[in-house]
Amino acid sequence: MQRTMIRETTGMVGQEVLVKGWVHVRRDMSKLAFIDMRDGSGIAQVVFVPAELDDNSKERMKELRPEFCISVRGVVNARGAKQVNPDMETGTIEILAKELVILNPSKTPPFELEDTAKINEELRLKYRYLDLRSKRMRNNLILRDKVTTFFRDFLHKEGFHEIETPILTKGTPEGSREYLVPSRLHAGMFYVLPQSPQQFKQLSMVGGLERYFQIARCFRDEDQRGDRQPEFTQLDLEMSFVTQEDVLELNERMFIELVKTVSPEKHITQTPFPRISYADAMTKYGNDKPDLRKDKNDPNELAFCWIVDFPMFEDDGEGGVQAAHHPFCMPNPDDIALLDTDPMKVRASSYDLVLNGYELSSGSIRIHQRELQNKIFQLLGLPDDLIQARFGHMLEAFEYGAPPHGGMAPGIDRVVMILANEPNIREVIPFPKTGDARDLLMGAPSEIEQKRLDEAHIKIK
C-alpha cells in the first residue's frame, strides 16, 4: 500500500490509508488510545480501539510513547460536529487504526518538543535532531528555504548566474581573523577558509561573467561577541558595468519583493528605503544602524534604510589606519584628490542595508584599476613586498581589461531571523554552534590523533 502524507488525509474520508511518522502526543481514555501522529506534512489524530485491531497491533499499541516512529494502516473518518477541532489543520477527521507497526521505539526525549521556548539551549543543541522535530525549528527552516529559493529565482530572472568559489583558499583581509587549514602536501603551508568570496567574485567580473551570485558560507574566527557564528551564510552578489545607484535599486526591489512573497503579513515602514549618510546617522542616531521602526512593539513592521557615504579609512586603534569596509572599495570620485592630502576625509562608494537596527548587508563599488588599488594598499601602510605577496594576483588581474563592478552581500541568517521574529540567528540555522564556537551535537572542536597531526606537519604547543 502507498504511503499517504498526513495532511492529505483530510480529503480522503471513508478511504483506507497508510500513514508513517512519529507519536506526537498520547492520551488514554479507558480502553481507547488517542495518538496525535506527526509526519513532515502535519499532525492528525489516530484512534486505537482494541476491537478494531489485530492481536499483534493490540499489544504494540500499549507500548507507544512520544517520538516512537510508527506506521499505521487505518480508515479516515469524518469527526462529528462536536468533535471537530478548529485549531488543528486536520481537525475535521480522525484515523481509525486497523494495524500498527513500530518502526523504531524512542527513548524519552530529554525535553518536550511542543514548546521549546523555555528549554535550556545547550540541551536543544546537543539533541538538535530532536529539536528539529519541533514546530518552531521546522517552520524556521522552511521559511529559510523559501527565502533562499526566492533569492535564487529573483536573481536568475535578473540575469545572474550562480557560481561556486573555493572554500580552501588564501586570505582575503576584511578585518577578521581567518581559520587556518594546514596543507599535508606542502609542509608548513596553509590554506585559509574565506571570510567571504570577495576576491573571487571580483575575479569573476574580470572573467566576464557580469552578474554573479552565490549562497556563500563565510568563516570568521572571532571571539563570539553577541549574535555571531563562526560560519554564516551570505547572499553574495556582484555586477559589472554598474553604478552604486544600480546596485541599490536592484537590492531594494529584491527585498520588497521578498517580503511580499515569503512574509506577506509583514509591512515595510517606508519605500523607497530612506538613505542616510554615515555622517548624518552618527550625528542623529549615534550609530550607523538606526532602528527606524515607528512602533517597536509591532512584530510585523520592517524598517529598512540605506547608510551611504561611509569613510574609506578608519583609525585601527594602534596609530595606523585600516579600511572601514575592505580595501577593495572605490573611493568616492569627488574625494579622489583628498587621497593625497587628507585621506581620513575620503568617503568610499560603499553602503550598508539596515533593517530594524541590524546591519543586513555591506557592499560597495570596487576599484578596478591597478594603480588606484595599489595606492590604497600603500595608504593602508602595507609595504610593497607584502602587497605583492598578498594581492599581486588582484593587481595583475586588473591589468587585463577589468570592468567597473560592484556588489553587496546580505546576511541570510539575519534576514530569516528577522522575518521569523526570532531573537538570534541560531534559531534559523539547522546545526549552529554555541556562543563559544562549539558544536555540542558532533563534539567539535576535538582532539586529533598523533598520526594525522604528523601527516599535517603539526606539533601541538
| Residue ranges binding ligand ASP (CB under 6 A) | 174, 196, 198, 362-364, 407-409
CB atoms within 10 A of CB 25: 14
Q: Which residues contact 125 (CB under 8 A, 6 or more apart)?
A: 131, 426, 432, 434, 440, 441
Distance separating alpha carbons of residues 48 and 60, to the nearest angstrom: 11
Please give the Cα distance from 257 to 142 (Å, whole number). Answer: 18
CB nearer to ligand ASP: give 154 or 212.
Answer: 212
Residues 6+ apart with CB under 8 A from 159: 210, 211
Residue 34 pairs in a beta bridge with: 27, 47
Shortest distance, position 198 Cβ to ligand ASP, whole Å: 4
Q: Is the peptide bond before 445 cis (omega within 30 degrees of 0)?
A: yes
- Provide, rounded to whole angstroms, the least separation between the CB of residue 365 and ligand ASP: 10
CA atoms within 13 A on the CB side of 235: 25
The nearer residue to ligand ASP, 99 or 210, going by C-beta atoms, is 210
Cα angle 296, 299, 301; round to 5: 70
Q: Is the dihedral of CA 113, 117, 118, 122 positive or negative?
A: positive
Q: In which residue are the cell numbers 471513508 written?
A: 14
68 or 351: CB nearest ligand ASP: 351
Angstrom distances, CA of residue 237 to CA of 296, 316, 411: 31, 28, 11
For cell 588599488, name the residue: 373
CB closer to ligand ASP, 131 vs 174: 174
If you search the block for the grid coordinates 495518538, which residue do you land on? 35
Pairing mode, if any, of strands 304-308 and 275-277? parallel
Smaller CB separation from ligand ASP, 66 or 411: 411
Q: Cell 494495524 maps to which residue? A: 99
Q: Of 288, 284, 279, whose CA–CA distance to 309 is shortest?
A: 279
Handedness of CA 242, 259, 278, 312 (dihedral sign): negative
Nearer to ligand ASP, 76 or 329 (CB): 329
Which CB atom, from 4 or from 373, has the smaller least distance to ligand ASP? 373
Q: Minimal distance in Å, beta carbon 196 to ligand ASP?
A: 4
Q: Residue 192 or residue 409: which is nearer to ligand ASP going by CB?
A: 409
Residue closer to ligand ASP (CB basis): 195 or 356: 195
* Cβ contact 356:290 at 8 Å: no
Beta carbon nearer to ligand ASP, 37 or 409: 409
Are the CB atoms for 412 and 425 separated by under 8 Å? no
Count Cα neighbours of 369 within 13 Å in the Cβ-side half-sphere.
Answer: 5
